[in-house]
Amino acid sequence: MRLAKHVALITGGASGIGRESALLFAAEGAAVVVCDVTDEAGEGVAAEIRSAGGRAVYLHADVSLDADCANMVRVAQSEFGKLTVLFNNAGIMIGDDGDAQTTTEDIWDRTMAVNLKGVFLGCRHGIPALREAGGGSVINTASFVALMGAATPQLAYTASKGGVLAMTRELAVVHARENIRVNALCPGPLRTKLLMDFLDTEEKRERRLVHVPMGRFGEASEMARAALFLASDDASYVNGATFTVDGGISAAYVTPE
Residues that bind ligand NAD in the complex, under the rule CB under 6 A: 11-12, 14-18, 36-38, 61-64, 89-92, 114, 141, 143, 187, 189-190, 192-195, 220
CB of 54 vs ligand NAD, minimal distance in Å: 19
Is residue 58 annotated as a catalytic residue, yes or no? no
3-class DSSP state of 16: helix
How far, rounded to the nearest angstrom, does the alpha carbon of residue 218 sit from its chain's CA centroid?
A: 15
CB nearer ligand NAD, residue 60 or residue 82: 60
User: Considering beta carbons, is residue 26 or 195 the nearer one to ligand NAD?
Assistant: 195
**What proportions of the chain, in percent to the nearest 5, are helix, strand and coil?**
50, 15, 35
> By the 8 A CB rule, do 60 and 14 touch?
no
The CB density around residue 65, as the number of other CB atoms within 10 Å, is: 15
**What's the closest the beta carbon of residue 205 comes to ligand NAD, in angstroms?**
11
Closer to ligand NAD by Cβ: residue 163 or 187: 187
Range list of H helices, 81-179 = 105-111, 117-132, 155-174
**Least distance to ligand NAD, CB of residue 136, Å:** 20
* Catalytic residue, candidates 58, 157, 237, 253: 157
Measured CA to CA, the distance from residue 29 to residue 86 in angstroms comes to 15
The Cα–Cα gap between 57 and 49 comes to 9
Could you tell me the smallest distance in angstroms from the CB atom of residue 3 to ligand NAD? 20
Task: Give the residue numbers marked as catalytic.
Answer: 157
